[in-house]
Structure 1
Amino acid sequence: MLRPCRHGAAKYGIDPGLWQSHMCGLCLGLRDGGGQLARAATNTDAIVLSLLTEAQADTPAPRRTAGPCPLRGMRTARVPVGASAPVRLAATASLLLGSAKVQDHIDDGDTRPRLHRPMRRVATSWSAGAHAHAADIGLDIEPLVAAIEAQADTEYRIAAAPGPFGRSDLDDLTVASSRCAAEFFAHTAVLAGRPDNADPLRTAGAEFGRIAHLADALTDYTADAAADRFNPLAATATPPTEAYDLIRESDRSLRESLRTAGLARVPSLRWALLDPLTTALRRLGGIVAAPAGASTGCAVSGPGARNSTDQGPFAPPRRPGAGESIQLIFAQYCTGYACCADHTNPCSGEQRGSWFSRGCDCGNCGDCASCCPDCGGGDGGDGGGCCECCECCECCDCSC
């Protein structure tokens, strides 16, 4: 969900390689602790835990020089050492959630039966790795494991209930993700020697977990219905517009909690957490606001406005072809140039670059200003990027 824009780092005076540095440190830390296969558990959203820990600490995590890697174009890099507390916390989250996701695929029948046994071995191995990393940093994850394991029973109970449903039913479905994120966020304060930040960060983490769960449910709303898969919104008869309101509510609460902890203005967190959340909410708002039969592009009418014809407001994303998948791997996951995926002006349809267009300029909010005249490239407060009048626009994938 979090995709900080490499080109947006300059306005905060941040090294644009910071995100990739922490991602490579997490990847190598997983390898050192669990072997090569454990690197597949790298969770890019978990990187924010490493950054959040470092942002509160008096000194940054120790670095080492990582050897050449094909995914970095055979370049070396300075990365946080795998034994450092920020990396271990991010590794714990990645392995715990990766194990749960593998087990969930097995339980949902998304894989062939003959693959169940090796997949269970992977899930067991990753779970053991999460426990080992957690023990090293003094984090008790047993309550989190229990919450994750209870998720399936909660889904079964909700799916079998005749209704009517209320807010509490939806909260029951998001409690596992909220609790896990809450404890991980809170533990960053413990590792950084800032225990006074634990409570507000626990609140921020709980809201982040709920945002992630509801955003996933909202994005997959139509695809889950077509595949007859469980969806929290459909199961609780929650309208997508109401789900979006809940996401915005959580976003406001998260930002307020960070302000309480004195972290809302920290440049690295604005760049890596708050700005990407602004972009994610704008994208989800486009999905919700799109009228039936229209695309999820710009809702503004006028000269040059782009009108779609063939997809509904909750159309699933198009699957990339083989060539595009390779570009995704090398450009987005490995090099951090995710923001150059498709700089498309949502009003005119003009594309401003491709996957490997490293010189694109997306830092002036020009696209939003061109179709939202009241925006004018405003900062939008703690959210960063465009002001709220521009919710009809996605601008580019970065938070311009």
Structure 2
Amino acid sequence: MLRPCSHGAEKYGIDAAEWRSHMCGLCLGLRDGHGQLARAATNTDAILLSVLTEAQLPGPSARTTAGRCPLRGMQRAQVAAADSPGVLLASTASLLLGSAKLRDHVADGDAARLAGRPMTRMSTRWADGARRQAALIDFDVEPLVAAIDAQQLVESRAASNGASAEPPVTLDELTAPTALCAAELFAHTAILANRPENADRLRTAGEHFGRIAHLSDAIADYDDDTAHGRFNPLAATDTTLAESYELVRESDAELRRALAAARLADVPTIRWMLLDPLHALVHRLGKGVGAVKAHVCNTTHDGHPHAHLGDHRPSTPVSETTHGHPRAHRTGHRPPTRRPGIGEALALVLGVYCTGYACCADHTSPCTGERKDAWWKGCDCGSCCDCADCCSGCGDCCSCGDCGCGCDC
């Protein structure tokens, strides 16, 4: 769910390799504590627990030199220590989530018949490993295990909503197990960092993070689930996509308030690895459900929204405002309207868009007029269009030059 953008790291003065440092530390922690196969449980969202723990520590955290790895181009790297408290908590979460996912695949019949038994054994092994690891950091994992076990029962009840004498299952009940797990994991980062005063605020932030995770997954899978007759919490509770998107927005706002109260909202690593990617996620979901229509950085120098490919009607002036605020009137040369090339037409056919404008062909920034190569010519987020989340999920990485919009994409 969280995909930090390299532009954001540069903006905050953070080494872009910091995310990899936590990910590699988590991967190696799983290997050292639970064997090579456990590395498959590496959960990139769980990295956030290591980041949150370090963000509350008074001094720099320990780093260790990792050996050569094919995923790093056979390079050595400085990574988070595998035995650090944050990495231990992140690996506990990864094992729990990995165990639950394996079990879900078996229960849903997604696994091949011959693979079902080995996957069940691996699920049990990872759950036991999570319990052992949690004991090392004084984390009571049993409420989380109980919540995960209860998820299937709640979903079974929700699937028969209206067909039994029991009260209908609500969407809050369906998202509660995920919210509880994230809440307790977030809160424990404060305990590990010896900042118990932050525990309640981080518990609130984690609760809303878990709710966002559950709802965003339900929104993304809605069409596919309903088409194939699979369970979806939104369909089961007659919740519309627009209503679920509003719930995501509410949780995003509450999460930010909680982090601000804990004085973590302005920590550069937290903004880069959590708040900005969440902003991009909410924006993508809004576009998907039709809640997000236009944005100043998706407009031409005339202030007009980019036309969809094939729409070359002349522009007419509109009010020069930015998010409702007056902005300086632009002067100077305006690039002429350009017809799409074959690359952009192909991008449209393949269904690759950037807020209504194909982004995977060469692109001219609407804010600066700067020409940028297509992402496939070396995508590092910067080579895709500004203010977008097309090829890398950029959030809050707007490089709008001198337009002064200060947008968050």
TM-score by length of 2: 0.77
Task: Report what 1:348 is aligned to.
Answer: 357
Which structure would you say has the larger Rg? Answer: 2
Distance 1:174 1:58, change over 3 A: same
Q: C-alpha offsets along residues 269-324 of structure 1, whole Å, 9 cap, x if unaligned?
A: 00000000000000000110089xxxxxx89985532489xxxxxxxxxxxxxxxx
Cα distance in 2 for partners of 1:77, 1:281 equals: 33
Distance 1:178 1:379, change over 3 A: farther
Cα distance in 1 for partners of 2:147, 2:299 equals: 40
User: Would the aligned equivalents of 2:215 and 2:248 in 1 still touch at CA under 8 Å?
Assistant: yes
Deviation, structure 1 residue 94: 0.4
Deviation, structure 1 residue 360: 3.1
Deviation, structure 1 residue 377: 5.7
Task: Report what 2:8 is aligned to.
Answer: 8
Deviation, structure 1 residue 347: 3.8
Task: Report what 1:304 is aligned to.
Answer: 307
| Aligned: 1:254 with 2:252 | no
Deviation, structure 1 residue 361: 4.6
Deviation, structure 1 residue 34: 0.8
Task: Report what 1:192 is aligned to.
Answer: 193
User: Would the aligned equivalents of 1:7 and 1:361 in 2 still touch at CA under 8 Å?
Assistant: no
Give the secondary-structure state (helix, strand or coil) at the position aligned to 1:102.
helix
User: Would the aligned equivalents of 1:204 and 1:253 in 2 still touch at CA under 8 Å?
Assistant: yes
Deviation, structure 1 residue 80: 1.1
Task: Report what 2:219 is aligned to.
Answer: 218
Cα distance in 1 for partners of 2:266, 2:50 equals: 17
User: Would the aligned equivalents of 1:221 and 1:231 in 2 still touch at CA under 8 Å?
Assistant: yes
Q: C-alpha offsets along residues 75-122 of structure 1, whole Å, 9 cap, x if unaligned?
A: 000011111101000000000011001001111111122211100111
Task: Report what 1:161 is aligned to.
Answer: 161
Worse-matched range after superposition: 168-177 or 136-145: 168-177
Distance 1:358 1:280, change over 3 A: closer
Distance 1:157 1:359, change over 3 A: closer
| Aligned: 1:107 with 2:74 | no
Task: Report what 2:370 is aligned to.
Answer: none
Cα distance in 2 for partners of 1:79, 1:280 equals: 27
| Aligned: 1:28 with 2:37 | no
Distance 1:303 1:258, change over 3 A: closer
Task: Report what 1:180 is aligned to.
Answer: 181
Distance 1:229 1:68, change over 3 A: same
Equivalent position to 1:360, from 373, 382, 394: 382
Task: Report what 2:128 is aligned to.
Answer: 128
Q: C-alpha offsets along residues 177-201 of structure 1, whole Å, 9 cap, x if unaligned?
A: 0000000000000000100000000
Deviation, structure 1 residue 353: 1.2
Cα distance in 1 for partners of 2:141, 2:7 equals: 36
Deviation, structure 1 residue 376: 4.9
Deviation, structure 1 residue 58: 1.3
User: Would the aligned equivalents of 2:359 and 2:385 in 1 still touch at CA under 8 Å?
Assistant: no
Distance 1:364 1:221, change over 3 A: closer
Distance 1:85 1:378, change over 3 A: farther
Distance 1:377 1:366, change over 3 A: farther
Give the secondary-structure state (helix, strand or coil) at the position aligned to 1:265.
coil
Deviation, structure 1 residue 355: 7.6
Q: C-alpha offsets along residues 24-59 of structure 1, whole Å, 9 cap, x if unaligned?
A: 000000000111110000000001110010000112
User: Would the aligned equivalents of 1:61 and 1:86 in 2 still touch at CA under 8 Å?
Assistant: no
Cα distance in 1 for partners of 2:28, 2:150 equals: 31
**Which residue type is aligned with residue 248 of structure 1?**
R
Cα distance in 1 for partners of 2:310, 2:101 equals: 37
Cα distance in 1 for partners of 2:51, 2:63 equals: 14
Cα distance in 1 for partners of 2:265, 2:385 equals: 21
**Which residue type is aligned with residue 346 of structure 1?**
T
Cα RMSD between the aligned structures? 3.0
Task: Report what 1:398 is aligned to.
Answer: none
Map residues 1-400 of structure 1 onto 2, 5 A cutoff: 1-162=1-162, 169-289=170-290, 304-306=307-309, 345-351=354-360, 352-354=374-376, 356-358=378-380, 360-361=382-383, 365=387, 376=403, 378-379=405-406, 385-386=408-409
Q: C-alpha offsets along residues 134-184 of structure 1, whole Å, 9 cap, x if unaligned?
A: 100110010110011011110111111217999971011001100000000
User: Would the aligned equivalents of 1:306 and 1:346 in 2 still touch at CA under 8 Å?
Assistant: no
Structure 1: gaps of 5 or more residues: 292-297, 309-341, 387-400
Task: Report what 1:394 is aligned to.
Answer: none
TM-score by length of 1: 0.78
Q: C-alpha offsets along residues 224-251 of structure 1, whole Å, 9 cap, x if unaligned?
A: 0122110000000101100000000000
Give the secondary-structure state (helix, strand or coil) at the position aligned to 2:4.
coil
Cα distance in 2 for partners of 1:287, 1:299 equals: 19
Q: Whose relative contact order is higher, 1 or 2, with alpha carbons under 8 Å and at least 6 apart? A: 1
Deviation, structure 1 residue 362: 6.0
Identity percentage of aligned residues: 54
